[in-house]
Amino acid sequence: MVRADNVHKSFGSLEVLKGVDLTVASGEVACVLGPSGSGKSTFLRCINHLEKINAGRIEVDGDLVGYRERGGKLHEMGERDVARQRQSIGMVFQRFNLFPHMTVLQNVMEAPCRVKRENKAEVRDRSRALLERVGLSDKVDNYPGQLSGGQQQRVAIARALAMRPKLMLFDEPTSALDPELVGEVLDVMKDLAREGMTMIVVTHEIGFAREVADNVVFMDGGVVVEQGPPNEIIANPQQERTKAFLSKVL
């Protein structure tokens, strides 16, 4: 579902991604761990067109992200194609970024109605079902400001799912939450994983990674230092940098 090859990204003279390689198969969950500043968010943002890479390539479901290949050459995609590609990728951020002036239901319905111009009644039914799935049936008519952080983040997940993405990206989805609200968001993500969603999750929740990840990816200094199944990377890391990081967060 995702194939990143030798991805490079710089901001001015600062090289943030220095050749990231990552493969995520359909239905798999990859958890990305690593110290602050190692390029985790930048990498997710590159997959979702929020940043443009300087070298290398990223494919999502066989589609080259941001470029078309013609006659052996890469051509930048037009805005319309970029928008189409982005529709198939859902992203959830540390900060929930809900629309404050819309109800929970309206938040979830907004993109399918406005961006995809789907039938409103169908979108409403689907959105209600998604809100039920994340445990918020009783909050559909509330405004984001009336919800806890954990509830808002669950709305953000439902909102991303409303576009029927084939890939979900999570960037530290529980880092801004009070500790007692972390579990309810992780539970929704576990369900999603169990149902076969392909997910890349940047997180410091080692317990979640151990339980849910097919592949744990340790990033440091703009490269993937080490990756593999949780029982190898978390329980028995080989690289010194991974050991040092885990000893701090475990």
Strand partners, 215: 30
Rule CB under 6 A: say whether 241 interacts with ligand ADP: no
**Binding-site member from 41, 127, 227, 242 for Mg ion (CB under 5 A):** 41
Closest to ligand ADP by CB, 47 vs 136, is: 47
Through-space distance between the first and last CA atoms of the chain, rounded to whole angstroms: 30
Using the rule CB under 6 A, give the single segment among 29-37, 96-104, 141-149, 230-238 that binds ligand ADP.
29-37
Cα 26 to Cα 11: distance, rounded to the nearest angstrom: 31
Rule CB under 6 A: say whether 11 interacts with ligand ADP: yes
Using N-to-C axis directions, what is the helix angle for 120-133 and 104-114, rounded to 10°?
130
Rule CB under 6 A: say whether 48 interacts with ligand ADP: no
Cα 108 to Cα 131: distance, rounded to the nearest angstrom: 8
Using the rule CB under 5 A, give the single segment among 35-43, 68-76, 138-146, 214-222 that binds Mg ion.
35-43
Q: Which backbone phi and psi does 183 adopt, to 5 degrees?
A: -60, -40
**Binding-site member from 2, 29, 31, 42 for ligand ADP (CB under 6 A):** 42
Using the rule CB under 5 A, give the single segment among 40-48, 78-86, 97-105, 161-169 that binds Mg ion.
40-48
Q: Which of 113, 25, 7, 152 is nearest to 67 (CA)?
A: 7
Rule CB under 6 A: say whether 173 interacts with ligand ADP: no
Q: Which of 22, 4, 15, 3 is nearest to 226 (CA)?
A: 22
**Binding positions for ligand ADP, rule: CB under 6 A:** 11, 14, 16, 34, 36-42
